[in-house]
Amino acid sequence: MKIILLGYMGVGKTSLSKKLSKKLEIPCFDLDEIIEKSESLSVSAIFKDKGEVYFRKIEHQLFKNFIEKEENYILSLGGGTPCYANNHLLLQNEDVTSIYLKASIGNLVEKLKNKREKRPLIKNLTEDELQEYIAKHLFDRNYYYQNSKLTVVVDGKSKKEIVKEILQLI
């Protein structure tokens, strides 16, 4: 079984993938962590020292390598992964179940307002700017997120409920 979790920053991709991994007894991986290990740098440091274009290049290479090689996994992507280098097309691969974790703008603002520091794209925004940024960004990214095979709305649901819903769908 190959499951890919995607969605906007802060939606809970990494923590949900850990919970699913326990339930399904298959290993979970996080693309940001894979990138950090490969570069021996944090995502923030890669953005700062090498720039976003470099990050997107590495992100694409490592994503492609991962899904070609690994068997039986849950992989959580970075929020932007589906939106660059035609990565969204890989979400349609026959043997992969890709799941878009969909959250409203208001929910994302709540989740992200105190978690900006480690996220280079929103790090320098004020709380007031965050709402408008997310609204625009989500609008742009929606097209790519919609390429996933399944969508689960996370608003108003506990992690446990979301995991249950995913288990029913797959």
Establish if 19 lies at the interface with ligand S3P (CB under 6 A): no
Q: Long-range contact list for 86-95, CB < 8 A, 24+ apart?
A: 87/59, 87/60, 87/63, 87/144, 88/144, 88/147, 89/147, 90/63, 90/64, 91/4, 91/6, 91/147, 91/148, 91/149, 92/147, 92/149, 93/67, 95/2
Establish if 121 lies at the interface with ligand S3P (CB under 6 A): yes
What minimum distance in Å lies between the beta carbon of 18 and ligand S3P?
A: 13
Establish if 119 lies at the interface with ligand S3P (CB under 6 A): yes
Establish if 120 lies at the interface with ligand S3P (CB under 6 A): yes
The residue (of 78 and 148) whose beta carbon lies closer to ligand S3P is 78
Window of 21-29, 76-84, 89-97, 145-153 that interacts with ligand S3P by CB under 6 A: 76-84
